[in-house]
Amino acid sequence: MEDAHYAYKFMAQYYQCINERNKNALQYLYTDNSRVLWNGVGYEGKERIKALYDALPQNTDFFCQSIDAQAVGNDLLITSSGTVYYANDMSTMKLYSHQIYLAASESPVILVENFRWLSPCKPPKPKPMGGTMGGRGGGYPTKKF
């Protein structure tokens, strides 16, 4: 429970920095060995990661809808998901998935981060498979034993 509480507080502050246009505060969470994978593009090191956040549109709004935390030894893996939109334009809204691997230290240090936009999916329509099972019908496949 302690990990989940810490993860919630950490992610609330993280997204607040982005939403309130205080992206400079994020640079203190990374080291020269930190790595970020942003929609399939890799960034390594504090300076390159800072440049990534500086390149985001000024009005970026994240709405985190779920957070999960798992201890990995003394470190912490945080997974979150929600919606994000840019430039106050709701038509740019996308779903996202976000994972952060925090090192165990006195102050939070992001070792690895993965951010990915997601596409909404529609479940496929079920297709009849033909045949019967046990003579009851219902479109289940027939298998002879």
Mean pLDDT of the chain: 83
Between 37 and 131, the more confident residue is 37
For residue 141, is pLDDT > 80?
no
Question: What is the average per-residue pLDDT within 43-47?
Answer: 94
Q: How far is CA 87 from the centre of its chain?
A: 20
pLDDT higher than threshold 50 for residue 44: yes
pLDDT of 139 strictly over 80: no
Cβ within 8 Å of residue 44, ≥6 positions away = 33, 34, 35, 36
Contact between 130 and 143 (Cβ < 8 Å): no
What's the whole-model pTM score? 0.76
List, in sequence order, every residue forming a beta bridge with 72; answer none if it has no partner: 75
Q: What is the pLDDT of residues 56-109, one digit of tens each?
A: 877 888 899 999 999 999 999 999 999 998 877 888 889 999 999 999 888 889
CA distance 88 to 91: 9
